[in-house]
Structure 1
Amino acid sequence: MTTHSDTHSPMPEGVSGPGDLLAAIPAFLGFTPHRSLVVICLDNTMGGGPTIGMVMRHDLKLPEPMRDEHQLWGRVSADMADVTAHFAEICARDDVRGALALIVDDRARASDKSARTDQHCRAIARRLARDLRDRGTELTQVYLTTEIACGSRWWTAFGPAESGTIPDPTTSPVTLAYMLEGRGVHESRDRLAEAIGPVDSAVSRTVEGLLRSGRSRDRGSDRMRLDAILSRIAMWGASSPDRPAVVALPAETIAEFGLALRNVMVRDSLLAITLTGFADFAEQLWSYLMRNLPAPERACPATLLGFSAYARGEGALATAALDIALDADPDYSLAQLLDRSLLAGARPTMIREVALSGYAVAELCGVRLPPPLE
């Protein structure tokens, strides 16, 4: 599964070497990767130094043990061969000329280059370099480390032997900059999924009971449904920065909104909220709804959260949300489409263009949406 960020930002001030760059990777991804292959696309077309483009990640899969132990050395699993080829195809499509990569594996050992895990990692590095080169992208270097943590050692996979230590990722200039933008960094991908996953609480059980018993109604027209949701978001958005609103709803309203979001016109109108000044509160609402609604109703708010995160370039959050959506409803078409787009490495700019279509849908519902931010 790939995760990406589409920043195209200059190399941040304070990032002056491999250690600083590796410390920034959790911020780029939104979580700290473990047993992963990470590819950082570089762009020199804007003049000056390189800029950070797309950041891609995939689970690291080493070959299964074989009877003849000597055959283990330097092999690349079929899964990883597919991954390196896929990354190379995305780079070729986007005309990426340069890249760096990192392999994170707690089984690797910098002091023993003959160790099997290290040999497998180096084989993956060589395969990635070859696949990228064949499609026009130069892989400058692949770094290895056991973990991205303060004081962890990194070393190079090929070329001149270089090594160093990783500074504290929590104080990385990139992490601090992203925190100011409201982006969080989770301890792991599992913790990220847990933070937005469904809960079993008195509220969620009441909501499920209301939906199953039919005591909650899908109220009124598309306009009324849309107005009800937008009014809540606007109310939270009008709160004072000194006393920010807490996004919470009674069980009856959660069930009502869950039913309202079943309507395609309502859902598609709300895609445009991603482009407005209310996007943050809308995301909080989608997260709250998906945690408290049962399946299949949670599929829509989970997809809306995934859509909004995707549009902002937060691929990790988008992927986690879409996984929850597809678990709730495997046939939910918008979640399927977004999931395929993520896997294909489609840029967030494409998603933002889709969001603009929400204005036309809302107009058909008779609702005027807030204007997009410039």
Structure 2
Amino acid sequence: MTTVPTVRLASPADLIAVVPYLLGFHPESSLVVTVLDAENRTVGGVVRYDLPSEPADAPGLAGHLTSVLTGNAARQVMLLGYGTSAQVTPVIDAATETLNTAGIEIMDALRADGGRYWSYTCTTAGCCPPEGVPYEPTSSAAAATAVFAGFVARPDRAALAATLAPAEGPDRERVDAATRTACAQTRSLAGTDHDWYHEGADQIAAALERAQAGQELDADEVAWLGVRLTGIFVRDAAMTFSRRYDEETHVRLWSEVARRVPLEFAAAPLALLAFVALGTGDGSLARVAIERALSIDPGYRLAHLIGMALDHGLPPSITSKVNCADMAGEIEAQAQRYPQGARPVLPEGW
């Protein structure tokens, strides 16, 4: 579930206008559910699902949605379907039934398509004529609030995923060459008592400092970071830095590393990016990062764990309960006891 800044809704058009900024992209063929604080008329969270291709699958989607909302203690929601009536109506009908049974109040249920919206809860032509109600997103105060808060609405989900696409051109060549050198040096240290854990933790801290200053890493820094993160204890140590720097710094660093390292090394920084995004409530970014990580390494365990958290709608607050200092101490102790867990595990061919 994606958490949001304080956004007040004065009309259905406000909801439709602000949703793309809360998701990070303009949705298509989607069901978007906003959790409401009805007393303050604010949006408390957003969750999105692809519409099923078959109407018979609508009850399954509705059941999963209801489970997620119940687990997040939601009491009032608004449903917004993007697509044709044939696509949206079966899902709205199924969701209405399961949510009512669970005691979750539906404040409104809408369908948006072609610059117009229709309400499933409206019973008169006065509030929702048969031809729908036109809306103009750019004139919405709610959308302006999101823009002012720094939120961006990309054209579609593919455009969001493209922000993590591998780098190309000369930078790709430089980082690939630096990675091969780093791998050769790593192999030369096999059988030694090299301190991979502290060296890796120190480099992570240095890289975060660079990211916080708005500086890009050079090819050697990216290469060595990619290599060191293949050591599980070093990767886990990176998660313990989550509260030492602001969220934007973490997103900037792990996005950069995920894009610039060779493909075989990208699963770890992508999982770290997803972990940070999960903690900030950016479910959309977390999801595309996890999907790319698993496309590279289908068995990558951390990616699977974060994916399960997203599937079950675990709130961002779950990460705030982690005591990073205790976690760092435990990982360091494990690395001292089992130093092989901090050593790089080089992909085949490197």
TM-score normalised over the length of structure 2:
0.82
Cross-structure match for 1:319: 287
> Deviation of residue 359 (structure 1)?
3.8
Change (3 A) 1:266 1:183: farther
1:138 to 105, 108, 114: 105
Is 2:30 the partner of 1:36?
yes
Alpha-carbon displacement from aligned partner over 1:146-168 (angstroms, at most 9, x marks no partner): 15xxxx11111244241433232
Which of residues 56, 77, 92 is equivalent to 2:56?
A: 77
Counterpart mapping for 1:27-176 below 5 A: 27-44=21-38, 48-63=39-54, 76-78=55-57, 80-105=58-83, 108=84, 118-147=85-114, 152-161=115-124, 162=128, 163-169=132-138, 172-176=140-144
Query: Taking structure 1 as reference, are residues 228 and 61 closer, same or farther at Cα in structure 2, changes over 3 Å only?
Result: same
- 1:23 paired with 2:23, answer no
Whichever structure has more helix as a proportion of its residues is: 2
* CA distance in 2: counterparts of 1:100 and 1:155, whole angstroms: 13
For residues 268-347 of structure 1, the aligned pairs below 5 Å read 268-347=236-315
SS in 1 for 2:163: helix
Distance 2:10 2:91 in 1: 26
User: 1:249–1:184: structure 2 CA closer, same or farther, 3 Å change rule?
Assistant: farther
Q: For residues 270 and 358 of structure 1, do their structure 2 counterparts lie closer, same or farther at Cα, with a shift above 3 Å needed?
A: farther
Contact 1:39 1:55 in 2 (8 A): yes
- Please tell me whether the aligned partners of residues 319 and 339 of structure 1 are also in contact (alpha carbons under 8 angstroms): yes
- Give the residue type in structure 2 aligned to 1:60: L
Contact 2:116 2:134 in 1 (8 A): yes
Residue number in structure 2 paired with 1:190: 158
Deviations along 1:276-326, one digit per CA (max 9) or x if unpaired, are 334322321211111122233100101111111111111001101111111
2:246 and 2:37 map into 1 onto residues whose CA distance is 32
Distance change >3 Å, CA 19–CA 192, structure 1 → 2: same
CA displacement at 1:26 relative to structure 2: 0.9
Pick from 198, 216, 220 the counterpart of residue 247 of structure 1.
216
1:229 matches 2:198: no
Instruction: Give CA-to-partner distance per residue, 1:85-115, whole Å, 9 cap, x none.
Output: 111111222332221111111xx3xxxxxxx
2: CA distance, partners of 1:120 / 1:334: 34
How far apart, CA to CA, are the structure 2 residues paired with 1:233 and 1:91? 35
What stretches of structure 2 of length at least 5 have no aligned partner?
Answer: 188-193, 337-350
- Match of 2:80, SS state, is strand
CA distance in 2 between counterparts of 1:29 and 1:300 reads 24
Deviation at 1:179, TM superposition (A): 4.1
Structure 1's 253 and 99: CA in aligned 2 closer, same or farther, altered over 3 A? same
The CA deviation at 1:255 is 1.4
The one-character-per-residue Cα deviations of 1:224-264 (angstroms, maximum 9, x if unpaired) are 22112212322443x4xxxxx332322x2221110111122
Equivalent position amino acid for 1:157 in 2:
Y
Q: Superposition RMSD on alpha carbons, in Å?
A: 2.5
**Hey, what's the Cα distance between the residues in 2 that align with 1:246 and 1:174?**
33
Report the Cα distance in structure 2 between the residues aligned to 1:189 and 1:30, rounded to whole angstroms: 8
Q: Which runs of 5+ in 1 are unaligned?
A: 64-75, 109-117, 240-244, 367-374
Shift of 1:19: 0.4
Q: What is the distance in 2 between the residues matched to 1:181 and 1:128?
A: 31
Distance 2:149 2:234 in 1: 29
CA contact (8 A) 2:82 2:111 kept: yes
Please state whether the residue corresponding to 1:126 is helix, strand or coil: helix
State the TM-score, normalized to the length of structure 1: 0.78
Deviations 1:260-280 (A, max 9, x none): 111222222221333233432
In structure 1, distance between residues paired with 2:323 and 2:163: 25
